[in-house]
Amino acid sequence: MNEASPKILLPTYDRSRLTPGIVHIGLGNFHRAHMAVYLDDLFARGESLDWAILGAGVRAGDAAMREALLAQDCLSTVIELDPAGISARRIGAMIGFIEVQPQNTALIAAMARPEIRIVSLTVTEGGYFIDAATGAFDPTDPAILRDAAQPDCPETAFGAIIAALKIRRAAGVPPFTVMSCDNLPGNGAVTRDAVIGLARLSDAGFADWIRLTVAFPDGMVDRITPATGPRERDIAAGMGLDDPVPVTCEPFRQWVLEDRFPSGRPAFESVGVQMTPHVHAYETMKIRILNGGHAVIAYPGGLMDIEYVHQAMAHPLISGLLDKVEREEIIPYVPPPPDTDLASYYRTVRARFANSKIADTERRLCLDGSNRQPKFILPSLSDALGAGGSIRGLALVSALWCRYCAGTTDSGARIEPNDPDWDRLNLLARAAKEDPAAWLSMRHIYGDLGRNARFAGAFAQALQSLWDRGTEQTLAAYLAD
């Protein structure tokens, strides 16, 4: 590895002066391009040096990431893909990676250390054991039931957090703050419900103690960070780096955070984190306009055999679909956060989607629709129905998802499984070709929306058009109306 390459910015601070204050569970690309970068910026200012990160994971696959990062002294390569020019930096905010073990013994011990004052998580939207039908914590999930039965040897992140909090309470050590960095509405409340809900299954009294003493701040996070593959490794190699796990990302990043950290926190505001009580307004804006926008362009691109997001944005029908759905059916129901112009925000989102340097894939956007559609699309649909507004575009988006899950593109190419519940979705999507109500019967996805006559009718009409005329003609007809 050529550390002396002039193209790469190295940490400007003495990493030997860093001490840990945070355990972060889930060392995927997003964390390393987001929270770790903010801390790297902070350390470069000579501030908050006692808030370095100890990495952690609770899945067997996390061991490979641990091995790769330890081999490079826990430095992460973050490559910003700006249309004006590519730049790279080595992020030094993490100073160790806890051993990944089936029952999380080492992780629990690390979180119990008094100097650890924040435990943060990026465990994906699907990792919080949420019942999609109710939006609440699901205490019947097999992993939750297993941890409830054996709380002293937990396998989930939440079980490990509970075990560490018990040790701290017994030792008279104040609890750490639990901070979700995942892309979820009300991520602090969702995390609190998962931790307290699991604790209540084995120790109701301790669950009440957590409810009264542990902080779970809400936060909105944003940065487009594609998955790492051969292309990303080639970019790193071209810059003189032999890094098996580089991260590529867009230049844009945003973090809006509730200031609720009883045991202290880094000086986040010094490096651009927006500390505000209005997190919910920002996350609603982001989840509906940006994440909802991703869902709008994902499935038509997938069905039309388009590989990259910027290529989908260059297609006038997909770009037109995005503009019309956002303008008529999403943005009108988004309350603006303080000092924010939604039209300007959408223009920024649109430009980010069109960034050809990112090479984000349509397949990544299509991933895990069963978790993402209820969060990113259906709330806008519900609001539009309630207001008596247009829903034809959002119904078309839902029909596009259904058609995609049938498993073939318009050209007849096979779509590889792309959802944790793919087998079930595929079965229902094929049944919906003749009976659209079969798809809308998924109450854990649609709830009561599937029984709404306006939506059901618009969905059935859109789905029939997709099967009869294909995606391009269906989009053209929608835009012409």
Domain boundary among 223, 245, 276: 276
Domain boundary among 233, 251, 276: 276
On whether residue 231 sits in a domain, the answer given is yes
In a domain, 1, yes or no: no
For 316, the domain range is 280-480
Overall number of domains in the chain:
2
Are 215 and 95 contained in the same domain? Answer: yes
Give the 3-state DSSP-derived string for 63-75, with helices as H, strands as E and coil as C: HHHHHHHHCCCCC
Task: Look at residues 104, 97, 108, 94 and name the one whose alpha carbon lies nearest to residue 51.
Answer: 94
Other Cβ atoms less than 10 A from the Cβ of 239: the count is: 19
Distance CA 184, CA 128 (A): 10
Q: What is the pLDDT of residues 1-15, one digit of tens each?
A: 344 344 688 999 999
Does one domain contain both 120 and 250?
Answer: yes
State whether 257 and 303 are in the same domain: no
Consecutive 10-residue averages of pLDDT for the chain (481 residues) = 58 97 97 98 98 96 95 96 92 98 96 98 90 84 96 97 98 98 92 98 98 98 93 91 93 97 98 96 96 97 98 98 98 95 97 94 95 93 97 98 98 97 98 98 93 98 98 98 86
Pair (198, 304) in one structural domain: no
Please report how the helices 392-405 and 369-376 are oriented relative to each other, as an axis angle in degrees rounded to 10.
170
What does the block give as tokens for 13? 């601070």
Check which CATH number belongs to the domain holding 155 and give it: 3.40.50.720
pLDDT at 292: 97
Do 161 and 230 fall into the same domain?
Answer: yes
Residues 271 and 285 in one domain: no
Same domain, 235 and 289: no
Element spanning 254, H or E: strand 254-257
pLDDT (tens digit, 9 = 90+) per residue, 291-349?
Answer: 999 999 999 999 999 999 999 999 999 999 999 999 999 999 999 999 899 999 999 99
Q: How far apart are the two ends of the chain, measured CA to CA in Å?
A: 57
Q: Does residue 385 sit in the same domain as residue 459?
A: yes
Contacts of 384 (CB under 8 A, 6+ apart): 329, 332, 333, 390, 391, 394
CA-CA distances (angstroms) from residue 34 to 374, 385, 478?
A: 25, 36, 38
Strand 136-137 and strand 130-131: the pairing is antiparallel
Q: What are phi and psi of 361, to 5 degrees?
A: -100, 150
Burial of 174 (0-12, 13-18, 19+ CB in 10 A): middle
φ and ψ of 248, to 5 deg: -110, 150
What are the distances in angstroms from CA 32 to CA 285, 312, 401, 414? 24, 27, 30, 33
Q: Measuring CA to CA, how many Å separate 301 from each of 97, 195, 392, 400, 415?
A: 38, 38, 19, 10, 12
| CATH code of residue 465 | 1.10.1040.10
Residues 264 and 299 in one domain: no
Separation of alpha carbons 87 and 84, rounded Å: 10
Quote the CA–CA distance of 135 and 138 in Å, as a whole number.
9
Give a yes or no: residue 442 inside a domain. yes
Q: Which of 249, 276, 303 is the last residue of a domain?
A: 276
The amino acid present at 273, given as its one-letter code, is: V
Asked if residues 154 and 162 have their Cβ atoms less than 8 Å apart, the reply is: yes
Residue 22 · residue 120 · CB < 8 Å = yes
How many angstroms separate the Cα of 316 from the Cα of each of 102, 219, 366, 461?
49, 35, 20, 22
Tokens at 361, concatenated? 């894939």
**36 occurs within a structural domain:** yes
Task: Tell me, yes or no, whether 163 and 195 share the same domain.
Answer: yes
Query: Alpha-carbon distance 91 to 9, whole Å?
Result: 9
What is the predicted pLDDT for the residue at 184? 86
Q: Are residues 291 and 259 in the same domain?
A: no
Put residue 73 in one of left, alpha, beta given phi > 0 → left and psi -120 to 50 → alpha: left
Residue at 472 is within a domain: yes
Residue-level pLDDT at 78: 97
Indicate whether 3 belongs to any domain: no
